[in-house]
Amino acid sequence: MAETVLEIVAAHRAGQATPAETIARTYARIRAHNDPAVFISLRDEADAIAEAQALQAKGATGLPLYGVPVAVKDNIDVAGLPTTAACPAFSYMPGHDATAVARLRAAGAIVIGKTNLDQFATGLVGVRSPYGVPRNAFNAELIPGGSSSGSAVAVAAGLVPLALGTDTAGSGRVPAGFNNIVGLKPSLGLISTHGVVPACRTLDCISVFALTVDDAWAALSAVAGPDAADSYSRNRPLGHPGAMPAHIKLGVPLPGQRLFFGDKDYEAGYEAALARLAKLGCDIVEIDIEPFYETARLLYEGPWVAERTITAQKLLASDPDAIHPVTREITVGGLRPTAIDAFAAFYKLERLRRVSDYIFAHQVDVLALPTAPTSYTVKQVLADPIQLNSRLGTYTNFVNLLDHCGLALPAFMTEGHVPGGITLLAPGGQDARLAEIGRVFHADTRLPLGALKVPMPPMPPMPPVAADGEIALAVVGAHLSGLPLNGELRALGGRLLEAARTAPDYRLYALNGTVPPKPGLLRVHGGKGTSVEVEVWALPKTAFGAFIDGVAAPLSIGTVTLADGRGVKGFLMEAAAVSDARDISSFGGWRAYLAQAST
């Protein structure tokens, strides 16, 4: 039975299952799981199945998330479902999807419902919600982790293979570690936060929960990209994971700095994970990580507590009892810092940022830290809600302040059957590097998928990628291998990476009067496109300018979306040239058209 995103999409494309059947199975699993605290709201089942049937009727099988059921944390807007942020008095009905949700839908995903969270995304424990405490997927006595509690449990329990969370101080990583799943925290601004209820707007990012790294990357590829509606969005190149780098330097704390608060099982699990990384070819480098601990302490000392208070400020003034007692205690604290406190914290952060930059420039490539130092029961956290929550952020609270990207990975299972994980961290913009390491490490753990007792599927090979100093370029016509202009690519040092297809959003035209004959690729909307055969070449950056200087109208170089969601540079045509060109989309590619024309 297909469980992962990639397996589900493959089954849909092969006709082994339909999107409607997968959605029906999702609702059946939710009923069988019988935990009303996982979802705050669910879509009507018939409505979701009808959407799946409509998707199938379009024949959009090339979409990267074709028919995949998805859950969304309930501080992210989904049109037609209320956004509560786990506070009924705050609830509102959004008129539009958040940008990330809209992009998931455009990639073929089907939203099932909105998941529970620590109120206003304030907490790493998963118990601060009037909608109940989602059961940890392994042991109901243990906390599920937060704030993205419902999203993590929904994936670990196999209710959905993919869920969106948010991450400000570890909310997309800690619950992943406690539920034996992958939690991807992207670089700041890589995914638009338009349509997200802010926790700390300057630090917030949407995170991804999945059963495997490849699934998380498929979702990230679908939703990443700049958004004019989000003033904190950034145009950061996503890249694509390749082979795991050899002898990558992994920074780990000095032995005396490794904090586990007496949890010998988690300490032993972390040591075993480092040993496995070393066997996989990584170089383990012990470093002084006190600067990162010092950065983490900033999060609850100054302006970022005040920033958390902004969203709840009106409720604090008009109806403070509507806010969870622990959340209220934290957010009230945000009313006290002064502007002087804020600037002092900003100065300190910039000093620590320089230290972080030096460590990554001269000592290590990636940090490999425990996702959490220990785990707690619900009873323990309710008895000591603030201190125990603070401990869980030991290895997470500094990450967003320093704009690091992170990838939380299942790493071990204790003798008491408690999951534990490690998190890989790198400077912003290096998300693909973390995936290169993480997918190999996760496969090597041989842990089951989430709590499903299903073995991890074989790790598929990653498609070849352009190396540093190269640009990936999709060619569709005369530059294909063996055709008249291919020599131009080879003369400039180009090398073939792969044969591929575009997303089903394009029309292919035979241009009129070109020598040699050339096609034009045009992106279209409204389901009127098809998938077109291309080749992806790697061209040295130093030669790229010379190459595109020879591209003449009506052709140009833009971004072409491939069938798996990757965006690469490629040949496109101007829409004005359509009237004088022949639509040859039905051939599926330039080679097939040339073969027909020669007969």
**pLDDT tens per residue across span 559-583:** 999 988 888 999 999 998 888 899 9
Measuring CA to CA, how many Å separate 384 from each of 140, 379, 387, 512? Answer: 18, 9, 6, 74
Helices 431-445 and 213-223: angle between axes, nearest 10 degrees: 160
Which pLDDT score, from 0 to 100, does residue 75 have?
Answer: 98
For 301, residues 6+ apart whose C-beta sits below 8 A from its C-beta are: 345
* H/E run at residue 113: strand 110-115
Q: Is the pLDDT of residue 468 over 90?
A: no
- CATH 1.20.58.1700 maps onto the chain at 289-344
Residue 516's pLDDT band, with cuts at 50, 70 and 90, is confident
CA-CA distance, 147 to 200, in Å (whole number)?
Answer: 13
Averaged pLDDT for residues 480-507: 89
Query: What is the β-pairing status of strands 205-210 and 162-167?
Result: antiparallel
Give the CATH number of domain 470-597; options: 3.40.980.10, 3.40.50.2000, 3.10.490.10, 3.40.50.300: 3.10.490.10
Which pLDDT score, from 0 to 100, does residue 138 have?
Answer: 97
CA-CA distance, 108 to 104, in Å (whole number)?
Answer: 7
Q: Which residues pair with 196 in a beta bridge?
A: 76
Half-sphere exposure of 113 (CA within 13 A, CB side): 22
DSSP 241: -
Q: Is the pLDDT of residue 599 over 70?
A: no
CA-CA distance, 512 to 217, in Å (whole number)?
Answer: 40
DSSP 191: B
User: CATH number of the domain at 1-232, please?
Assistant: 3.90.1300.10
Residue 598's pLDDT band, with cuts at 50, 70 and 90, is low
Query: What are the catalytic residues?
Result: 73, 147, 171
More confident residue, 135 or 512: 135
Whether residue 231 is preceded by a cis peptide bond, meaning omega within 30 degrees of 0, is no
Residue 526's pLDDT band, with cuts at 50, 70 and 90, is confident
* pLDDT tens track for 12-27: 999 999 999 999 999 9
Which pLDDT score, from 0 to 100, does residue 246 have?
Answer: 83
3-class state of residue 72 by DSSP: strand
- CATH 3.90.1300.10 maps onto the chain at 1-232
Which pLDDT score, from 0 to 100, does residue 366 have?
Answer: 97
* 98 in Cβ contact with 189 (< 8 Å): no
Residue 470 identity (one-letter amino acid) = E
* pLDDT tens track for 546-561: 899 888 889 999 999 9
* pLDDT tens track for 345-388: 999 999 999 999 999 999 999 999 999 999 999 999 999 999 99
Q: Look at residues 551, 536, 32 and name the one whose alpha carbon lies nearest to residue 240.
A: 536
* pLDDT tens track for 174-225: 999 999 999 999 999 999 999 999 999 999 999 999 999 999 999 999 999 9
* pLDDT tens track for 63-122: 999 999 999 999 999 999 999 999 999 999 999 999 999 999 999 999 999 999 999 999
Which pLDDT score, from 0 to 100, does residue 460 have?
Answer: 81
User: CATH number of the domain at 289-344, please?
Assistant: 1.20.58.1700
* pLDDT tens track for 289-332: 999 999 999 998 779 989 889 998 899 889 999 899 999 988 88
Which pLDDT score, from 0 to 100, does residue 200 have?
Answer: 95
Which pLDDT score, from 0 to 100, does residue 302 have?
Answer: 74
CA-CA distance, 228 to 422, in Å (whole number)?
Answer: 34
Q: Is the pLDDT of residue 1 over 80?
A: no
* pLDDT tens track for 115-174: 999 999 999 999 999 999 999 999 999 999 999 999 999 999 999 999 999 999 999 999
* pLDDT tens track for 379-436: 999 999 999 999 999 999 999 999 999 999 999 999 999 999 999 999 999 999 999 9
Q: Which residues of 418-456 are buried (b: 16+ CB within 10 A; e: fewer)?
A: bbbbbbbbbbbbbbbbbbbbbbbbbbebebebbbbeeeb
